[in-house]
Amino acid sequence: MPAALPRLRAVVFLVTLSGIVFEICLTRIYSATIWYHFAFLAISVALLGWGLGGLAVHLVRLHWARWTQSEETAGLLTLLYAATIPLCLWILVRFPFQIERLPLYFIAPLVPFFLAGMALSTIFDLHRPDAGSLYFADLLGASLGALGVTVLLQALGGEASVLVAAIAPMCAAALLSRRLRLVAGAGAVLLAVAALSNASTELFRVTPGTIKAMRRQMEASPGARVTQTGWNAYSRIDAVEGLPPPFLARFYIDSDAWTSLLPWDGRIESAREMAESYRALPFRLTPGGETLVIGPGGGADVMAALAAGSRKVTAVELNPLMIRFVRHYGARAGDLYDRPDVEVIQSEGRSFMSRTDRKFDVVFLGFVDSWASVASGGLSLSENYLYTTEAFRAYYEHLTDDGVLVILRWSTDVPRLVANAVALLGAEEAAQRVVALVEKRGAQLDDPPQMLFMLRKRPFTAAETTEIADRWTLAVPMIVPGRPAPAPYDELLGGRKTLSAYAAESPRRVGPVFDDSPFYFAVERPWGMPSRIADGLFTWLLGPNLLLLVLFAALGKPRGQPARPYAASIVYFACLGFGFIAVELALLQHMTLLLGHPIFTLSVLLFTLLAAGGIGSAISPRVPLRAACLVVAVLGAIEAIALPRLVPTLLPLSLPARVAIAISLIAPLGLAMGVPFPGALRQTGRGALADPPFYWGFNGVMSVIGSVTTVFVALTLGFQAAMLIGCLCYALAAFASRGTLT
């Protein structure tokens, strides 16, 4: 006897809630254990798994229709899905990442998502007249999962959150099948116990891969040990003690980017060594000034500023875990973040700049990047908005008349930083205000020579350039006003070469970076990402999914039916799969800049988009599909064109106002995007149209292709272009729906 509709809604809700939690937790685990680019793999594997599950149900239905026409079958599939989630986690724990194990890290999570896709496809096939209501439960579960995963990650950590995610489908299996209730109930209890005890037992603690700096450095220091670990929605931080002096502790962000905490008694005179260090050189230009440090991490730059004579330091740190970890060391670190001359503000750098009217003598950014994935939908190749030309403008405008912007990074960063300065000021003005110096010491594997890039509000004087070039003995001058610069900077800053020619002639991507495509670290040609990553995306994701697309088209057409309506349905669902993910990723990226915090992007924006889409699916029976597709196309295109200009003007507003505006921009679009898929799914399974599981799977495969393509479009053309392409897909879907889907 079929389950009642409310029970089915609960089942779909629980399965998709667990799916989004599992998916986002995987992005965090992959970012912390492999490499932040590969976190994108988790999202794509999830989409692919849902799609393959639909295809499998469609193929099984052709030969064993009775097996798929049963809620008992859906219950068994849901139970297997729940059981394979901890199995996937165990594989990741048992086999720490090595590059040759990449296929394993692709296949392990594919299995649970595949089973979840089969379970949901079976339910939608059995109850196709209720597709809108069930899809509402689907998106509502995903939206609440996106909201709840931030709490789970912070409270339990990544591994335990994965175990908790498996409890929901255990409950769903019990709702679907009476025969499985005892097994499912016992499984849910075991998972809860394992999750709650994991912090002490560490049975499911993943180990960073061999390519991670944390693992290499700890293996090189036998006495090193992890003393604290903290998770949130966009990072994992490990505090490691026992490294060689002078470090009190080193904090690793996602096991790779690190920041050091130094022992200190809090007295300025005892920090003399730091005052004479390489990173303290810029503070000689503004003695007794007020300093802003963006991304202070463990506080070495704050300490250097104080030691060099800054009267006050404002430290703007995005990650609350970092602030908590530094304060944990208290007096052993000189109570660094609780001193009266240090003001600590938890905020994102661009967001803080847009809301303050203060001016600073030094704005300092020292290695402000976490090499971590953004979990707000999976576009984990995006770094941040701190190194764009628009960011440079914000820093420049908040400098005093004698102020200086200082960026501490590697020498390989000079080409792009110079390009940003020229894009901001022009070659002639930049030539008088830019200084680039390289640290004078030998290179080491994990700690090569550093670079100081300085952009001053006014031109450097002859006395200052003489001081820098001749007396700053810790540094080797690279670019100093009034002195010959090496190629190609000499021609660019001298006005003999245009910025476009400078960028085109370089073997790497060295042009200025803008907010529409903020990929400062994407320097490899032609796509920006390292070739091995691009090849992996083509080999493991894009290529196989294109083959699957051909397979879908070949196997899906009902026999004896005309080809034209079937072809139109293929175009329609392909456009929906591609368009939805392209619009979602581009829209959320714009909103990330607006809100200035990854947690808000995940919890507020993804929740709003999916919840509004759920409401759209609930009203889909009363809305024409063609009209809904055209609304998405038009509204999305308007926002794609307007947002790059609108968002910067909104940054000075308070956070509640920006959240309200973000919701008002996302909700109407999400509402319209929720209509076309369930509305069309109800009409499938008759005439020339294949059954619902086929289109469910087809949509999932196209979502993978759309997500990968969106990454490449954003890297090369920008997010505006990616969003406009997504809107074009909805316009094509509206055209394809004519005469086939109404």
CATH number of the domain within which 98 lies: 1.20.1250
Same-domain check for residues 433 and 554: no
What's the confidence (pLDDT) of residue 574?
Answer: 93
- Mean pLDDT, the chain, integer: 89
User: CA-CA distance, 312 to 320, in Å (whole number)?
Assistant: 21
Is a pLDDT exceeding 90 seen at residue 662? yes
CA pair distance 620, 63, nearest whole angstrom: 32
- pLDDT band at 371, cuts 50/70/90? very low
If asked whether residues 488 and 528 sit together in one domain, one would say: no
Using 50, 70 and 90 to split pLDDT, how confident is the model at 459? very high
235 and 602 Cβ atoms separated by less than 8 Å: no
CA distances from 49 to 23, 111, 113 (A): 11, 7, 5
Helices (H), 619-718: 625-650, 655-673, 676-681, 692-716
The DSSP bridge pattern shows strands 434-439 and 342-346 to be: unpaired
Q: Cα–Cα distances in Å, from 489 out to 176, 388, 502, 507, 615?
A: 68, 19, 9, 15, 55
Q: Look at residues 451, 473, 505 and tell me which one is the last residue of a structural domain.
A: 505
Residue 479, classed as helix, strand or coil, is strand
Average pLDDT over residues 496-502: 95
Q: What's 464's domain CATH number?
A: 3.40.50.150
Q: Would residue 264 count as lying in a domain?
A: no
Q: State residue 37's pLDDT score.
A: 55
- Most confident range (mean pLDDT) of 266-275, 356-365, 554-563 is 356-365
* Mean pLDDT along residues 609-620: 92
**Where is pLDDT greater, at 591 or 429?**
429
Q: What is the pLDDT of residues 228-262, one digit of tens each?
A: 999 987 788 999 999 988 899 999 988 888 899 99
- Residue 36 predicted with pLDDT over 80: no
602 and 464 part of one domain: no
Q: What is the pLDDT of residue 65?
A: 59
Q: What pLDDT was estimated at residue 663?
A: 93
Taking the C-alpha atoms of residue 112 and residue 105, their distance in angstroms, rounded to an integer, is: 13
- pLDDT band of residue 38 (cuts 50, 70, 90) is low
Would residue 215 count as lying in a domain?
Answer: no
Name the token pair of 539: 């080999």
699-736 tens-digit pLDDT: 888 988 998 898 889 888 999 999 999 999 999 999 99
Which pLDDT belongs to residue 402? Answer: 96
Taking a C-beta distance cutoff of 8 angstroms, is the pair 236, 212 a contact?
no
Give residue 254's pLDDT.
87
* Boundaries of domain holding 31: 1-209
Please give the pLDDT value at position 728: 98
Q: Is the pLDDT of residue 611 over 50?
A: yes
**Residue that finishes a domain, picked among 480, 505, 530:** 505
pLDDT of 484 higher than 80: yes
Chain position carrying tokens 């006897």: 1
Question: Are the beta carbons of 604 and 660 closer than 8 angstroms?
Answer: no
CA 165-168-170 angle, to 5 degrees, is 110
For residues 500 and 518, membership in a common domain is answered with no
Task: Enter the tokens of residue 639.
Answer: 């926002």
Q: Which residues lie across from 345 on neighbouring strands? A: 316
- Alpha-carbon gap, residue 666 to 613, rounded angstroms: 10
Q: Does the structure show a pLDDT above 60 at 380? A: no
Indicate whether 547 and 423 sit together in one domain.
no
Confidence at residue 46, expressed as pLDDT on a 0 to 100 scale: 82
Q: Is the pLDDT at 538 greater than 50, yes or no?
A: yes
Structural domain includes residue 227: no
Return the pLDDT at 509. Answer: 93
Residues 657 and 622 in one domain: yes
Structurally, how many domains does the chain consist of?
Answer: 3
Q: In what order do the strands lie in the sheet with 225-232?
A: 225-232, 235-241, 249-253, 257-261
Q: Which of 209, 231, 262 is the last residue of a domain?
A: 209
The per-residue pLDDT for 508 is: 93
Are both 431 and 529 inside the same structural domain? no
Q: Please report which residue ranges of 518-654 form alpha helices under DSSP H.
A: 531-537, 543-556, 563-595, 598-600, 607-618, 625-650
User: Dihedrals φ, ψ of 483, to 5°?
Assistant: -125, 150
Domain identity same for 137 and 12: yes
Q: Name the pLDDT band for 104 (thresholds 50, 70, 90).
A: confident
Residues 667 and 525 in one domain: yes
pLDDT at 91 over 70: yes
- Per-residue pLDDT, 566: 92
Q: Give dist(CA 308, CA 479) in Å, integer.
A: 23
Please check whether residues 482 and 559 belong to one and the same domain. Answer: no
pLDDT band at 599 (very low <50, low <70, confident <90, very high): low
**Edge-to-edge strands of the sheet including 450-456?**
342-346, 312-317, 290-294, 360-366, 399-410, 450-456, 434-439, 475-479
User: Is residue 542 situated within a structural domain?
Assistant: yes
Q: State the DSSP code for 253.
A: E
Confidence label for 184 from pLDDT (cuts 50, 70 and 90): very high
467 in a structural domain = yes
Percentage of the chain exceeding pLDDT 90: 60
Is 740 among the domain residues? yes
Q: What is the pLDDT of residue 514?
A: 94
Residues 564 and 698 occupy one common structural domain: yes
Model pLDDT, residue 63: 65
pLDDT greater than 60 at residue 164: yes
178: tokens are 């009476």
- Whether 296 and 148 map to the same domain: the answer is no
The predicted model gives 145-164 an average pLDDT of: 93
Q: Is it the case that residue 13 has pLDDT exceeding 70? A: yes
Q: State yes or no: pLDDT of 275 exceeds 60.
A: yes
Share of the chain above pLDDT 70, in %: 93
422 vs 417, 455, 457, 511, 565, CA distance in Å? 9, 11, 14, 10, 55
- Contact residues for 201 (Cβ-Cβ < 8 A; gap 6+): none
Answer yes or no: is 234 within a domain.
Answer: no
Whether residue 258 is contained in a domain is answered as: no
What pLDDT, on the 0 to 100 scale, is given for residue 118?
93
Residue 441 pLDDT exceeds 70: no
